[in-house]
Amino acid sequence: MLTIGKLGEAAGVKVPTIRYYEQVGLLPPAERSTGNQRLYGKATLDRLRFIRHARDLGFPLEAIRDILSLSDQPEQSCAAADAIAKEQLIAVRARLARLQALEAELERMVAQCAHGTVAECRVIEVLSNHALCSHPDHTGGETWEGAA
């Protein structure tokens, strides 16, 4: 049995994260020692490592909850898990496209810099006026994160 600190070390997760995952039902409630200390077994460690890996791949908590639910029913078809993974892949590709557009815009801003004074700074000028952005999704004041 592992204490919450040892569990966190073993899975590479901070203690508050473990408590949060318990609170939202991704991890089962911990057993308690006679001194009321949380104790965890190997199954919880494996589940926590699964969650951490899924989070590293960018899966939202609700998708992780769904996949965990599916993994608790090993005889079931994996079509639902495949669909969740495909949805995540689409989301990652969309984020990559936005990041590539952001990279191109930043490269353009830096390349147009005349290395003069702040009064003539192209970077500041473009950041002050969205109409000067070349990316169509970035005109109109919306942030890159909000342009999802």
Q: Express each pLDDT in 88-132 by its tens digit.
A: 999 999 999 999 998 998 888 888 877 777 777 878 887 888 777
Closest C-alpha among 97, 93, 98 to residue 142: 98
- For residue 103, the enclosing domain spans 89-147
For residue 134, tell me if it sits in a domain: yes
Total length of the chain: 148
For residue 76, tell me if it sits in a domain: no
Check whether residue 108 and residue 58 sit in a common domain: no
| Backbone torsions φ then ψ of 58, nearest 5 degrees | 90, 5
Which of 38, 71, 104 terminates a domain? The answer is: 71
pLDDT tens figures, 35-64: 989 999 999 999 999 999 999 999 999 999
DSSP label of 108? H
pTM, full prediction: 0.73
**Both structure tokens of 45:** 């460690």
- Which runs of E-coded beta strand occur in the chain? 31-32, 38-39
pLDDT at 145: 52
Check whether residue 10 and residue 63 sit in a common domain: yes
- 21: domain CATH number is 1.10.1660.10
What dihedral do alpha carbons 62, 72, 75, 66 form, nearest 10°?
A: 0
- CB under 8 Å, gap of 24 or more: what pairs does 12-18 form? 12/52, 13/48, 13/52, 18/48
Check whether residue 33 and residue 60 sit in a common domain: yes
Q: Quickly state the pLDDT bin for 140 (edges 50, 70, 90).
A: very low
Q: Residue 18, Cα to own-chain centre: how many angstroms?
A: 16
38 has which bridge partners? 32
Check whether residue 66 and residue 96 sit in a common domain: no
> How many structural domains comprise the chain?
2
